[in-house]
Every structure is written in structure tokens, then in C-alpha cells.
Amino acid sequence: MESVLNAIVLNLPLILCLLAGVSLLVVEVFVPGFGLPGVSGLILTVIGVVITWRNYGPVAGLAVTLIALALAGIAISVSIKSAANGKLSRSALILNEVTPTVDHEETDALLGKTGKTVTVLNPVGFAEFDGVRLNVVTEGSYLEKDRPVQVTKVEGNKIIVKEIAA
């Protein structure tokens, strides 16, 4: 028992680097862009592998690399699944965008309506028509936020818009 405790204490920097690195990589999945958590997680994971490589040789370093990759993959997979429909999905950390469903009669009535973009359309985004926020798409062009648009075509639930002069 004492030898196991000594081994844990001796390898504590290695264990902490790997656990913190994998945890930060999981956080990076939920943060837009590639930022501080992702870079920090990669650096800490590499430090953990390098410590193992220097202290125990290349075979142990390779084994820890494979274990860290598997652990990161499993942790990211579980967290994404939980964010989709588990306990994490009810957390305040996960932003859930609710898009209202629209009947075909309602979408046909949108033809020719004017509104304004609520988000950037690149080419997909949200626009507001008569106080209703809808998921729309342009014909391939980029539109800034708060630009006037008009519905030109409706194909099923796909609402196609174009920019109009203000």
C-alpha cells in the first residue's frame, strides 16, 4: 500500500498534467473557436507525455500518449452526448437555441415578406419577420446583421432570402 502511495506522489505532476490537459480539451469542445483552453490542454498533455518519456523511456511515453488520446476521445464523446440529451444539456453552461417549427402554409405565406437579419447570414442564419425569428439561408451571399431582407423562395422548411435596399 505504501509503495502505491509513493508511486502516486512521485508521478503526481504527470497525472495532474494529463488530467488537466484532457479536461481543458473537453472544455474547448464547448468554447467557440480555438482558444486558451485548447492550447493549454494540448500543452499540458504534451508535458505529461514528455515527463513520462524522460522518466520511463519511449515505450512508456508511447503508452501514455495512446492512453491520453483514448481518454480525451472518450471524455469528449461522453460530454458531447451528455450535452445533447443528458444532465449537461440542462446546464446553464450549454446554450440551447430553440428554432420554432413552421407549417408549410405559414412558409408559403412568407413569400415576398420583408424583415431583417438577426445574425450574420453566412449564408445560413436567423432573420426576423413580423416579430418571428426564423432560420433562413441566402442564395450563397454573405449578409451582415441588421440588414433588410426579403423572402424570395420557400422550399419545404428552407426559407431563401435576399438583401433589399433599405
How does pLDDT run across 33-71, given as a tens digit for each residue? 667 888 898 999 999 999 899 989 999 999 999 998 998
pTM above 0.75, yes or no: no
Pick among 3.40.50.12780, 3.40.50.1970, 3.30.70.260, 2.40.50.140: CATH of 104-163: 2.40.50.140
Asked if residue 150 lies in contact with residue 165, where contact means CB atoms within 8 angstroms, the answer is no
Residue 141 in grid coordinates: 451571399
C-beta neighbour count of 143 within 10 angstroms: 22
- For the chain, give every domain's residue range: 2-90, 104-163
Largest CA distance in the chain: 77
How does pLDDT run across 84-107, given as a tens digit for each residue? 766 655 555 555 555 555 555 666
How does pLDDT run across 113-165, given as a tens digit for each residue? 999 999 998 888 999 988 888 889 998 788 889 999 999 988 877 889 999 88
Task: Report the alpha-carbon distance of residue 1 to residue 157 in Å, rounded.
Answer: 64
